Amino acid sequence: MMEARYRVLGALLLLMAGGCNPYKVASQNVMDVYKQGRFDDAILVMDSEGLDRARQNHQDDLIWLLERGKALQDGGRWAESEKAFRQAEDLIDRSDERAEISVTAEMAAVAVNQTVFKYAGTQADRILLSTYRMINALAIDDLEEAMVHARRANDRQSQAMEKNAKELAKADSDYQKSISSKGARSGGGDSPANQVNWTHLEQTSRHHQMSQMASLKLESAYANYANPVPSFLSAICLRAGGDSDNARVDFTKVHNMMPANRFLTAELSPPVPDRLVYVLFESGLAPERIQTSLGLEPKVSGISGFSLPSLRFQACDIASLGVRGTGVFMKTERLASLDSIVAADFKNAIPAMVRRAIVSLVVKVGASTAAAAKNKLLGFMVGIIYQSVTNEADLRTWQTIGSEFQLARCQRPVDGVLHLAIVDRAGVERTTASVKVPDSRAVIILVRSVRADQMVCHVLRLDGKKRQTAINDK
């Protein structure tokens, strides 16, 4: 009999361990390289055999396509980046068309954790995807395609609040069913829900939500999923295409979100000069998700608590980008805080995350108490194994996006050369680069820097004449 019990426990452990999500380790390997500014090497790590094996379960296909597309864009490999982003877009569209998650997938997520769901992208992910696809289109001077993605970004901003409300309503419905099953919290019964100290659980989860809210960098400019970058790029496209009136409408929209930016103010102060150069600087790294464990008091059959994701902001040693040239001396100013955009998105998602975690906890308590009813030791061991293997928060998040976008604007220097220098938090100039600016109707100098000792520059020339490749492609 004892030998049979151990065989059951061993089988359970192997079965559950086999379902562990390898995303965390694989993504860490990629980001270790990416954080050094070695974008091409990060792609090589993504394409490695080991990471290919990690992706075979397909739950993480979308997140890897987003990471791949962004790293390729940072390296100036526009066509490859667009291919990855287009595939990511197709996955999102198919996910939205299906709308309802399968019963089997829901049961697996409740019994294990949310990482068994296919990553479908946050609302912020979707808006940023359209934003980065605009940049890919501008890299080949395809203004028409860029405007398609601008409209998609605006549509997604409009739909985001409605979609988030639906997700919360679904999670809340599951939560209510869970806590009311078989008279839970009504003073008796042996259902899994009645094994839980609900007062302590709700206090713990509420405290987690409040502490997260207090730590987030929330700014009113980014409420309702607002993102100034698509509107800014749209304004440049419209002006480059000769539509000054609608360009002014978009510039006004961006200025209303970021009124302190002097370069945006200048856009609304006629006359607007010719041969403008826009320096668009993406710096640092957006917040990452870490796991926070919350205790369950008292413990139930080996189940001691549950885990939720928390948002952790990443330190950045970059203050701004200095821009110099003949008659030009300025520093970039904030255009958009991606930290705040991600934080606002996370804030809206927290209530649904908490409810799903509690529903999953009730199911796990049910499994362990059912086993304990037949054998107390077996039930306790089942609970411990279940807890150790499945108590994992969903930490998937788009990691290669920056912490913020900054902007500078000037006329093209007479000699056609701009000198760029990253300025760190101490006011010291670090990495420098000289960029030859083409004589064009409008030019965007796209600069990506993960840290102060690294910088990559790309020149996007906007004449409204679509090219097959960008001017700085090899």
Question: What is the percent of the chain where pLDDT is above 70?
Answer: 68
Q: Which amino acid is at 369?
A: T
Quick one: CA dihedral 465, 137, 150, 152, positive or negative?
A: positive
Q: Which two tokens stand for residue 223?
A: 């409420």
Total Cβ atoms within 10 A of residue 23:
20
Helix (H) or strand (E) holding 48: none
Q: pLDDT (tens digit, 9 = 90+) per residue, 87-144?
A: 999 999 988 777 554 434 444 444 444 556 788 899 999 999 999 999 999 999 999 9
Structural domain spans, the chain: 2-462
Q: pLDDT (tens digit, 9 = 90+) per residue, 69-85?
A: 999 999 999 999 999 99
Place of tokens 């562990």: 20
What are 367-376's contacts with CB under 8 Å, separation 24+?
367/111, 368/300, 368/301, 368/302, 368/303, 369/190, 369/192, 369/195, 369/300, 369/301, 371/301, 372/301, 375/5
DSSP β-bridge partners for residue 294: 306
Q: Among 226, 268, 228, 264, which residue's Cα sits nearest to residue 245?
A: 268
Q: Which two tokens stand for residue 82?
A: 């667009």
Strands (DSSP E) contained in 45-114 are: none
The Cα–Cα gap between 227 and 204 comes to: 33
Does 150 score more than 80 pLDDT? yes
Q: Is the pTM of this model over 0.85?
A: no
Helix (H) or strand (E) holding 448: strand 442-449
The Cα–Cα gap between 89 and 65 comes to: 9
Does 413 score more than 90 pLDDT? yes
Q: pLDDT (tens digit, 9 = 90+) per residue, 391-408?
A: 678 889 999 999 999 999
Q: Which two tokens stand for residue 309?
A: 């994701």
Three-state DSSP class for residue 457: strand
